[in-house]
Amino acid sequence: MNILSRCLMALSRESRMSIKDATFSSEGALFYTVVISSSTIEQMVSECLKAGVNETGGILIGSYSEDSSTAMIVEATTRPADSLAGRTTFQRGVRGLRPLLHARWKTGLYYVGEWHFHPGGSPEPSGDDFRSMTSIAANPDYQCLEPVMIILGGDPAGSYSLSASVFPRGDGPIRLREVLI
Ligand SMILES: [Zn+2]
């Protein structure tokens, strides 16, 4: 092992240990901000590490600001056991989510959207991703007018990146950009 790869290893260890909250905002007329807590990012990274070469995902739990322009995500669940996952597909199951959401609701936290993993790929949403989020926004069972989608792409053990999009009911998707503070 040469000095450069030792340095890179140290760097990736360092960045894993110091995961910070991430903030994403819209640039257009409609103003949306999504804040993802560092522990949520850690939960997603650890699920992706377990999934290996397969996609995985779950739901996002959090709360909204009073004017509902900002979603604060505080939890990314593990993959429900009845999910279907392959190398380039993921269909989230539902097992266990109802009691979990009920318990969170008692503490003022709600379903705010979905997250999933593109192993070794970019975090760009696919056509299927757009379609499934649009149907969630339109589905009254979710009681979520503006679901958020977070995708983790790349290598969860090294260099990975996140994308964030909002799907307002009856409107086109809005891609958010990371705000680097
Ligand atoms: Zn996807």
What is the tens place of the pLDDT at every residue in 40-58?
999 999 999 999 999 999 9
Each residue's pLDDT tens digit, 95-146: 999 999 999 999 999 999 999 999 999 999 999 999 999 999 999 999 998 9
Query: In this structure, how many other beta carbons lie within 10 angstroms of the beta carbon of residue 114?
Result: 25
- The pLDDT value recorded for residue 15 is 53
Alpha helices in the chain (DSSP H): 3-17, 38-51, 97-105, 127-138
- The pLDDT value recorded for residue 13 is 52
Quick one: pLDDT band at residue 9, thresholds 50, 70, 90?
Answer: low
Task: Decide if 92 contacts 114 (C-beta within 8 A).
Answer: yes
| Domain-located, residue 88 | yes
| Domain-located, residue 7 | no
Task: Decide if 159 contacts 122 (C-beta within 8 A).
Answer: no
| Domain-located, residue 13 | no
CATH classification of the domain holding 47: 3.40.140.10
Å from CA of 1 to ligand 1 middle:
35
User: For the chain, what is the domain count?
Assistant: 1
| Domain-located, residue 5 | no
Instruction: Give the domain extent around 73.
Output: 20-179
| Residue 65 CB-density burial (10 A; 0-12 exposed, 13-18 middle, 19+ buried) | exposed
pTM summary value: 0.89
Mean pLDDT computed over 154-176:
94
- The pLDDT value recorded for residue 38 is 96
- The pLDDT value recorded for residue 12 is 55
Catalytic residues: 55
Å from CA of 10 to ligand 1 middle:
30
Å from CA of 57 to ligand 1 middle:
10
Q: What does R_g of the chain's alpha carbons equal in angstroms? A: 16
Look up residue 11 and give its two tokens: 């760097």
Look up residue 64 and give its two tokens: 């909204």
Nearest residue to 137 via CA among 98, 94, 171: 171
